[in-house]
């Protein structure tokens, strides 16, 4: 076997242990956070209201505020919990895609998106939106709770903010390294 063929064989089977570990960690975080979201959604309306009021009382005491209505805190919690889910799932998808050169999107014969980063962002967007929809649907069956499209839209705000930050950070990272994004045409 020639040296060139040997290098090609080794390269084709190359697996990154670093990205395996990162993918595992971020998938565990992603799934744990989904379970946490559904656990919080399983609380009755009374339990959820008590938790929100307790959080508002703590904010008022710590920062010397006078917030009376907990609806802003509830909306921020919705956006925040899905912002965190977006970050975890993006990192999980991105790390999974980098485990092996042979199985990455870059090696796919069919390119539906222009780059790996766009693929990760689109899949993350769909994954988190579907979780937001299922979360609201789940709340339809919890006593004192309701599932609303408005809450899915609030979740979407958190999702989009994180994806825009990721896109900007990725672009800045590439610029500082003197590289440009690999675009498939």
- pLDDT at position 129: 98
Confidence category of residue 136, pLDDT binned at 50, 70, 90: very high
**Smallest Cα–Cα separation from 153: which of 134, 133, 173, 127?**
133
Question: 47-59: buried (b, 16+ CB within 10 Å) or exposed (e) per residue?
Answer: ebeebbeebbeee
Smallest CA-to-CA distance from 90 within 24, 34, 26, 133 is with 26
pLDDT given at position 30? 98
Chain center to CA of 158: 10
Give CA separation, 143 vs 38, 73, 140, 148, 181, in Å: 14, 21, 8, 15, 49
| pLDDT value of residue 4 | 53
pLDDT band at 8 (very low <50, low <70, confident <90, very high): very low
**Is the model's pLDDT at 128 over the cut of 70?**
yes
Rounded to an integer, what distance in angstroms lies between the CA atom of residue 185 and that of residue 164? 23
Per-residue pLDDT at 13 exceeds 90: no
Q: What is the pLDDT of residues 56-91, one digit of tens each?
A: 888 889 998 888 888 888 899 999 999 999 999 999
- pLDDT at position 55: 87
Confidence at residue 7, expressed as pLDDT on a 0 to 100 scale = 45
Angle (CA) 155-156-160 rounded to 5° is 125
What distance, in Å, lies between the first and last C-alpha atoms of the chain? 35
Q: Stretch 14-26: mean pLDDT, rounded?
A: 92
| List of residues 6+ apart from 14 with CB closer than 8 A | 100, 101, 102
- Reading the block at residue 22, the tokens are 């990162």
Which residues are 15's β-sheet partners? 100
Q: Which of 53-57, 118-122, 143-147, 160-164 has the highest mean pLDDT?
A: 160-164
The answer to whether the beta carbons of residues 162 and 86 sit under 8 Å apart is yes
Which has the closest alpha carbon to 104: 114, 117, 118, 116?
A: 116
Q: What average pLDDT does this structure show over 144-152?
A: 93
Q: What pTM does this model have?
A: 0.84
Sign of CA dihedral 171, 172, 174, 180: positive
Q: Is residue 147 predicted with pLDDT exceeding 50?
A: yes
Q: What whole-number distance in Å separates Cα of residue 45 and Cα of residue 145?
A: 5
At 94, is the pLDDT very low, low, confident or very high (cuts 50, 70, 90)?
very high
């Amino acid at each position: 076997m020639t040296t060139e063929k040997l290098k090609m064989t080794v390269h084709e089977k190359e697996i990154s242990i670093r990205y395996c570990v990162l993918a595992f960690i971020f998938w565990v975080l992603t799934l744990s956070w989904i379970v946490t979201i559904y656990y919080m959604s399983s609380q009755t309306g009374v339990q959820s209201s008590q938790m929100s009021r307790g959080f508002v009382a703590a904010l008022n005491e710590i920062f010397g505020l006078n917030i009376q209505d907990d609806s802003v805190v509830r909306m921020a919690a919705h956006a925040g919990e899905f912002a965190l889910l977006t970050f975890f799932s993006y990192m999980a998808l991105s790390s999974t895609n980098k485990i092996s050169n042979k199985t990455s999107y870059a090696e796919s014969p069919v390119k539906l998106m222009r780059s790996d980063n766009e693929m990760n962002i689109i899949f993350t967007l769909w994954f988190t939106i579907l979780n937001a929809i299922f979360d609201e649907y789940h709340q339809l069956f919890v006593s004192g709770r309701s599932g609303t499209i408005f809450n899915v839209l609030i979740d979407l705000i958190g999702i989009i903010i994180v994806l825009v930050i990721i896109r900007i950070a990725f672009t800045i990272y590439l610029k500082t390294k003197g590289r440009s994004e690999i675009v498939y045409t």
